Structure 1
Amino acid sequence: MSYRISSHQTLSAETMPRVPNVSVVVFNKFSPFHLSIPSIVFGNDSLHESFFNLQFVAGEEGPILSDIGMEIHTKTTLESLAKADIIIVPYWRTIDERPNAQLIEALRLANKRGALMVGLCLGGYVLAYSGLLAGKRAATHWELEEDFTRRFPETSLDTNALYVEDNGVITSAGTAAGIDCCLYIFRKYYSSKIANRIARRMVVPPYRDGGQAQFIEQPIPITTSDSRINELMEKIRSDIGRKYTLDELANSVMMTRRTFTRKFHKATGMAFGEWLASERLNFAQDLLESTELNIDQIVAKTGFSSVFLFRDKFKQRYAVTPNRWRKTFHGRNCCGIRNLTT
């Protein structure tokens, strides 16, 4: 059974669940951008809290330099992968090169004991060379689909996916898809609210369409540069189930309807109706994950005018039904990690 913690609750050291260990494997000629993605998502700089134990592991002997002269110093070797809950290969220097035998063996052993294996962008090639994608679905950069299929015909490549999870192995498409993938992994261990906080701190675009759209967070503006709009947004969030009209809202901030519509869009980048629907869907998403409320009760709490409209909007946004979302994410508890909401 999973549980959630509200903002005024605390956990003692005795009751706090174990923090998962994340190992990021690094090699010579690394890509600073690809390496920064898991560093930001799983490190403690973004939220100033430790949700994961993050470490960098040398995937080979010798100096580890980027192509622009940056250098990584780590004394952590492949033996440490035996204690990792999540192993991320964030890149690979060339598609023609087979990884060293020691790394392949370490990855195979980790996969066998149940560690979550992740290949971001070309890191998927390392997992494929290690035999971890045989008989599985996978994703990769669209420019390399033909090459990947030719090299690894036993892998079923999903050419429409930003990322794919199949039996404990996750692969992502190129570059920015690694962000989506890492946020997805974050929510596998914790809640969508915390993952969304990471996304907002990273200034992730509000919408990410793709083959895995039902798993991709939809960050929306929390605050804007307009103080009156900010106050109004907070007021609406505190009573999201109410019906609102543009005339009422415009009067509440002493604007004409036309001025309010223009200023709201300028401040948030969204029309008011679009913003309100997004807020309601995010709230519904959290209720599906964290409560036992039925669909009628969720519709009442979130302010949708009917169950039919709610289901239609939810499916448009996440590409799955509310019931399917609940079955996927309600009470999720992977590797002994419990869902925490702050």
Structure 2
Amino acid sequence: MPNRLVVALAYDRLSTFEFGIAVEIFGLPRPEMGPDWYRFAVCAIEPGPLRAIGGFQIMADGGLELLEQADTIVIPGWRGASAEPVPPALVDALRRAHERGARLMSICSGVFALAATGLLSGHRATTHWHYVEQLSRAYPEIKVEPDVLYVDEGRLLTSAGSAAGIDLCLHVVRTDFGPEIANRLARRLVVPPHREGGQAQFIERPVAPAREGARFAPLFDRMRQRLGEEQPIHMLAAEAGMSTRTFLRRFKAATGLPPGEWLLGERLIRAREMLETTRHSIEDIAGATGFGSAATLRHHFRSRLGTSPAAYRSRFAQGAKISSSLSGAPE
């Protein structure tokens, strides 16, 4: 559907950061993305003035009637989470939009407004870890996923706190326009191009100390360059000029992960890129990315991503610029 209309809700005491995510992804003109990019509008769910957190006011494009035209509706947070009632008129408008086929997505505490419609009953959903218990108590019929970045249930999508909304919005762009466009947009935003929804919301010490980051950066680059090879811990420790014990401790401090888990994540990223952009067999991709066999690659895809390499390729390679070469030579 060309020129999809995305409508973001605005309300008094609006969550500014979450609203800004919707504007940044869907609301800015992006001629470099082609003629079919999103149209965007802001819907006031109540009479103004609408104050946003941070001391400014929002001037909306229209009221709830905009939801009758929307292809995607973004709920950017919700004031008071479960403590603040959702206006019945908004509940009805969201239900009607969903009935006619609109996609509804919430960022952070916006899940409470979506949950009030009853549409999430029996479905999986997530929110910021701070609100997980509130959501579970208020809506026990929802299958709350407490430790993920976002959940895609078809036309009902929910994200964890704040920045996870960027991941969800990029996931939507990826679904609508394919991986090439989504990756290009991610580069414009200077964010990772694709974090899986099932990734944990937070890790221990996610930001490395400057000294550790500088020390490990060259090693990270070398590890990425040889993903198809065995990389035993003792070899990596020697390259870093550390004992094995010190290396393991400092590597986890710098990345939040043990070396094996970090390598697995990087290998999955490379495998996804190859599935999206090449015609190589799954067996060849498994070998080139260090999984050894197609069976092992399928196992990790299923475990980490909840899908198979073939299904992933079918979904995300459509429209991508496909290469048939591993090293520049014909396959």
TM-score (norm 1): 0.65
The answer on whether the counterparts of 2:147 and 2:200 sit within 8 Å (CA) in structure 1 is no
Q: Secondary structure at the match of 1:189?
A: helix
Deviations, residues 243-267 of structure 1 (Å, cap 9, x unaligned) = 8999xx9xxxxxx9446999xx8xx
Give the superposition deviation at 1:119. 1.9
Give the superposition deviation at 1:43. 4.1
Aligned to 2:76: 90
The answer to whether the aligner puts 1:77 opposite 2:63 as a matched pair is yes
User: Which range moved further: 199-208 or 90-99?
Assistant: 199-208
Give the superposition deviation at 1:24. 0.7
Find the aligned partners of 2:160 and 2:266 in 1 and give their Cα distance: 28
Deviations, residues 172-196 of structure 1 (Å, cap 9, x unaligned) = 3333432332232222223345445
User: Which range moved further: 171-180 or 119-128?
Assistant: 171-180
Give the superposition deviation at 1:25. 0.8
Aligned to 1:38: 22
The structure-2 alpha-carbon separation of the partners of 1:194 and 1:108, relative to structure 1 and needing over 3 Å to count, comes to same
Deviations, residues 101-150 of structure 1 (Å, cap 9, x unaligned) = 1x23322221111111112222222222233223433323324134322x
Q: Which runs of 5+ in 2 are unaligned?
A: 202-212, 323-331
Q: Secondary structure at the match of 1:213?
A: coil
Matches within 5 A, 1:192-211: 192-196=179-183, 198-199=185-186, 201-203=189-191
Q: Secondary structure at the match of 1:29?
A: coil
Aligned to 1:142: 132
Q: Which of 25, 29, 41 matches 1:55?
A: 41
Find the aligned partners of 1:82 and 1:327 in 2 and give their Cα distance: 33
Deviations, residues 185-230 of structure 1 (Å, cap 9, x unaligned) = 222223345445555634469977xxx42799xxxxxxx989x959
Find the aligned partners of 1:175 and 1:23 in 2 and give their Cα distance: 18
The answer to whether the aligner puts 1:124 opposite 2:111 as a matched pair is yes
Find the aligned partners of 1:148 and 1:329 in 2 and give their Cα distance: 39
Q: Secondary structure at the match of 2:108?
A: coil
TM-score (norm 2): 0.67
Relative contact order, higher structure (CA 8 A, sep 6+): 1
The answer to whether the aligner puts 1:298 opposite 2:285 as a matched pair is yes
The structure-2 alpha-carbon separation of the partners of 1:122 and 1:287, relative to structure 1 and needing over 3 Å to count, comes to same
Give the superposition deviation at 1:277. 5.5
Question: Between Structure 1 and Structure 2, how many residues are aligned?
Answer: 297
The answer to whether the aligner puts 1:286 opposite 2:270 as a matched pair is no
Amino acid at match of 2:174: R
Give the superposition deviation at 1:37. 2.2
Q: Secondary structure at the match of 1:330?
A: helix
Find the aligned partners of 1:206 and 1:84 in 2 and give their Cα distance: 26
The structure-2 alpha-carbon separation of the partners of 1:310 and 1:43, relative to structure 1 and needing over 3 Å to count, comes to same
Amino acid at match of 1:97: P
CA RMSD of aligned residues (A): 4.7
Give the superposition deviation at 1:26. 0.7
Aligned to 1:221: none
The answer on whether the counterparts of 1:191 and 1:341 sit within 8 Å (CA) in structure 2 is no
Higher fraction of helix: 2
The structure-2 alpha-carbon separation of the partners of 1:144 and 1:328, relative to structure 1 and needing over 3 Å to count, comes to farther
